[in-house]
Amino acid sequence: MNKFIKTLVITAAMLPLFLAGQFTAYATGDNVMSQSDSISISGTFRGAIAGIDTVTLFVWESMPPLRRLHAKSSTSYQQILVDGQFHFSIKPTSDIVYISLAYDKWNGQHRHLFNRYLSQRGDSINVTANFIELTNINTVSDSGRLIENDQLFFLGKGAGKYNMWKIAEKKANDLASEYYAWHQALQEDSGQENSEIERIFDRYQYIASAQLNWLNRFTPVCSPELFRVLRNELLAEISYTYLYRPLIFATKKITDSDRAGFDSRYHELVRDVPLPDTNKTSGAYGSYRLLDFTLSKIRVEGTLSGSGLYPLLKQRYTGLLRERLLTKYLSEQYSHLLADSAQSYLRDALQLVHDETNKQCLLSLQHLEKGAPVYNFSLPDRDGNVVTLSDFRGKIVFIDFFYTGCSNCASYFKKSVKPAKEYFRSNPEVVFMSVSIDGNRDKWIKSLESELYTSSDALNLYTDGKGAVHPIIESLKILGYPHPILIDREGKIFNNRYSELGQNDPPGLIARINEALKQRSSSTD
């Protein structure tokens, strides 16, 4: 029997509203403040399995600085679909909030029909969609389902901003493709080629100008405050994706002799492009897009000037925005910084950060230092046997966390982990583990058989369908993969820094394991 995969597509009856250019038909009401203090989200998913399929609504009144905290910091509401229908009515305390709607998971984390869209009190949004049966689809969800939402539209009061954002997301990708075609034709006609930095800025200007022209169509049916927020969100998203992320990679390649020229050209070009206004949004609401943009911008400018990121963030920003930026930077980079720098920055940040959410994020980083106990996890192996970390007390344990499809994970295993495992093959005091965060067990088994991410004679474990939300992942604050950790004989962290565990220096992993072997247990002192 073929395995059917349910794919979610929007009702075709909605398409004429947009295709006919009737923008105001689906944007009506965004400039009128409703007397209601509620937000209503409802819809019908035709073809849903009665009593099984669910939908979950996430609401944030303030977005946390870290993506891994998003689900935990939200208020969530889940419903089982009855006759394919759902209805949520919420009463936020803030006028502008973020909302997401999810119905599936990938690596234990929710897959979203729409994700972190801005909503206002008084909105009444209706989503109508169909589940249809498809076969032989290679999906990236734990259940094998695929959401087909390229033609997702919204109806109802306040729906305009939802449609605007959804279409803007797709338009950015289309515009990037258009730019490549345009640039290729221009280059062929002129016979000249721009430098890499000029191409990056040209492409961003091309995309940003078109996106802002699109957004301006929304002005007649949008309050000035909402328009300002949407404009900043849009610019933050596309400047992060199409300007500063490419510049980060470009600055990594420049030589010291070219740095001054690149820096000068950067400051000439950046004056002429539209960027989000951090001054006007920093205290109004918690925008993770704004934080991504700001941190990537400082990363580029710090690299060009030869300045450290932490000092620049501390110097250039103040107030809540600085607190959020320092928290985000340290939380994301703590395991990549040199130990002395990381500890010094953390001590300093704890004196500067007063917001309780951000302070708790920083305090939790102290549990990642050498000598901190590791969460005593229990995970299944390939045969279903439960393996507990404490089973290996008295041994040195190296763990490599990965997921199927991670190219960096495969490269790290091949260049660093595999040679180290071979080096210590005859040493019974060293245990090599791999832990997969795949949400789908069959996918994990196939990855074991491929031996791209681990070897068959390692102790291969699995987060049992919980993916990246398993307690061991959360306790170690893992944000990216691969993520290695070296544990001493007492079950405590010996080294939790990717940069020191063979990231760019394969022999470094062997050296760190040898250091751990030489360390005396406190119980023998």
Asked if the model's pLDDT at residue 6 lies above 80, the reply is no
Burial 60-73 (b: 16+ CB within 10 A, else e): bbebbbbbbbbbeb
Confidence of residue 371 (pLDDT cuts 50, 70, 90): very high
Tell me the whole-structure pTM to 2 decimals.
0.77
Q: Return the higher-pLDDT residue of 365 and 107.
A: 365
Q: What angle do CA 262, 267, 269 make, to 5 degrees?
A: 95
Rounded to 5 degrees, what are φ and ψ at 386? -85, 125
Mean pLDDT, range 357-363, rounded to an integer: 88
Give the pairing type, strands 483-487 and 493-495.
antiparallel
Q: Return the higher-pLDDT residue of 145 and 77.
A: 77
Asked if the model's pLDDT at residue 52 lies above 80, the reply is no
Mean pLDDT, range 51-61, rounded to an integer: 82
The pLDDT > 90 percentage for the chain reads 40
Cis peptide before 506 (omega within 30 of 0): no
Burial 431-441 (b: 16+ CB within 10 A, else e): bbbbbbbbbbe
Q: Tell me the pLDDT of the chain averaged across its residues.
A: 81
Q: What angle do CA 502, 430, 466 make, to 5 degrees?
A: 75
pLDDT in tens, 425-470: 999 999 999 999 988 888 899 999 999 999 999 999 999 888 888 8
